[in-house]
Structure 1
């Protein structure tokens, strides 16, 4: 595997029994044996992809894939629903977390994988945490990046009220509106620079109305960005296909709440499930209060703060993310029931 050469990865596209088609990369270690080698399933967030499919220097999961495979893990990295080579339905109902988790189960079933280590960033972090509640017996371990665990709520809290309580989530009101689809598309390059702005930037688009103002009314200029020009060019080429799919994730809050309530989803993760949370101390989405609260619902919990880093930890701290997660996994011994002799895989 050469991170500079996307053709050196093993690409697959499969139709699942849920009806959706998923593109993913599936890399196996040398001498792969499902009884001995655990599988890591990598789930990206907004606006991201499995990795950059051109010769770019750093972004996405691709710099993690090789090292983790060499440590003896099978690594699968998806284009999530609405992105890249995966199905892009227009109806937001397809993007509820319960349905996304059903897609992930269908993928594991297709690949005959009984249990998996789930690793998610941003929306991917929220999704893998909910997967741990909906399908607890399909997990060996859980890693969340940037977005801390939040338990299901018995009472529906509209997004407007969430923003009133936490003003730095104000941008989500814009993403949830239908007008954002075409407005972002018409100003895509500026939007990507805003989204991938560095944590030390004085430009804050998180508050209600700020993103629309910067996007639609402030003159365009070359703003600070954690991506280089080639990376931005690639993201532009992918996202110009349409923003309906990626933005639909922000239009599911009521759907998600109703599904969780109907299912009777628990607030606590499985007691024996190892959980690692990593975040940048300059990330406005990872508040100390929420991080502290999440500990009450996770028995085997470890967290790592990346000092001075922002939301895009896989860019800003790619080597640290690779090594810390790899070392943490190696410290675990996970049982893999359902294999001959109930083998134990050393992660």
Structure 2
């Protein structure tokens, strides 16, 4: 994803709208002379995979979404306008952390409290997110008070790798994904998708995360049911970082789905 790893790291948020990211991925496929592939995304990657499905469906055999399901174009100025739906469905606000990650001092606060940040990002008990990440203002309180909690056993060297990257490149660029979601740029970008492309006609795999307090399957599944007529859903007994927590199950389940799609191609 742009802003992470060895990619470019533009500071302007407009560079991160998902139609541009999707075009970048198409350019890579063209350069590698690859035509028919599966697009698999997780979290913000699911949004980019969604735009690939909306704008370039003929280039792909199918689409997979983990944790965050298929996201059809949302033309609202801010993603937070959808918060009432989340409260109605799951019983609590689940986008409250956006307020912190789009604040001017978010990068500074995170860098000052990295241990607390990694603890809550990869908490051994994923239910903590409901109380520490989901409510407005809660994650700031957690960080600034240097709160701690045990980390999940599957985390390994992930925090160290991210920490080294953030020390070298900063956190401003990755936070642009949150900025475009609330400043109107993502909503405006969504208008490039024609309404007839909102429904994905290609095969879809949705890997739901039962213990995910933010991307709850109950919020994701209705959209899958409505707009993905060829969908296969599998709910994993895992938190948000499903690919690390239950890696073997993810690989086996995804491989079976790919094989089933290929057998019908």
Partner residue in 2 for 1:194: 120
- The one of 93, 97, 100 aligned to 2:21: 100
Distance 1:107 1:177, change over 3 A: same
Which residue is 1:158 aligned to? 78
8 Å contact from structure 1 (residues 148, 286) kept in 2: no
The counterpart of 1:306, out of the listed 231, 236, 241, is 236
Report the Cα distance in structure 2 between the residues aligned to 1:98 and 1:90, rounded to whole angstroms.
17
Return the alpha-carbon distance in structure 1 between the equivalents of residues 195 and 105 of structure 2: 33
RMSD of equivalent CA atoms: 2.2
**Larger RCO, structure (CA 8 Å, separation 6 or more):** 2
Structure with the greater alpha carbon radius of gyration:
1
Change (3 A) 1:201 1:223: farther
Structure 2 gaps, min length 5: 87-92
Task: Pick which of 224-233 and 310-319 moved more.
Answer: 224-233
Tell me, in whole angstroms, the C-alpha distance in 1 between the residues paired with 2:74 and 2:197. Answer: 8
CA-CA distance at 1:94 after TM superposition: 0.6
Counterpart position of 2:206: 277
Shift of 1:165: 4.3
Are the equivalent residues in 2 in contact too, given 1:196–1:226 (CA < 8 A)?
Answer: no
2:140 equivalent to 1:219: no
Q: Is the 8 A contact 2:40 2:49 kept in 1?
A: yes
Unaligned runs of 5+ in 1: 1-79, 336-343
SS in 2 for 1:332: helix
- Tell me how far 1:145 sits from its aligned partner: 0.4
Q: Secondary structure at the match of 2:216?
A: coil
What is aligned with 1:323?
A: 252
CA contact (8 A) 1:120 1:128 kept: yes
Distance 1:291 1:185, change over 3 A: same
Distance in structure 2 (CA, Å) of the matches to 1:279 and 1:263: 25
Which of residues 11, 22, 34 in structure 2 aligns to 1:113?
34
SS in 2 for 1:168: coil
Distance 2:220 2:149 in 1: 34
Instruction: Figure out how many residues of one structure are paired with residues of the other and give that number.
Output: 253
Q: CA distance change for structure 1 residues 168 and 159 in 2, over 3 Å: closer, same or farther?
A: same
Q: 2:189 is paired with a residue of what secondary structure?
A: helix
TM-score scaled by length of structure 2: 0.87
Residue matched to 2:53: 132
Structure 2 partner of 1:232 = 159
CA positional deviation for 1:179: 1.9
Matches within 5 A, 1:54-93: 80-93=1-14
Asked if 1:178 is matched to 2:104, the reply is yes
Structure-2 separation of matches of 1:85 and 1:289:
33
Query: What TM-score do the two structures reach when normalised by structure 1?
Result: 0.67
Relative to structure 1, is the Cα distance of residues 262 and 162 closer, same or farther in structure 2, using a 3 angstrom cutoff?
A: same
Matched residues in 2 for 1:140 and 1:256: separation?
Answer: 26
8 Å contact from structure 1 (residues 199, 311) kept in 2: no
1:201, distance to aligned residue in structure 2 (A) = 4.6
More helix by share: 2
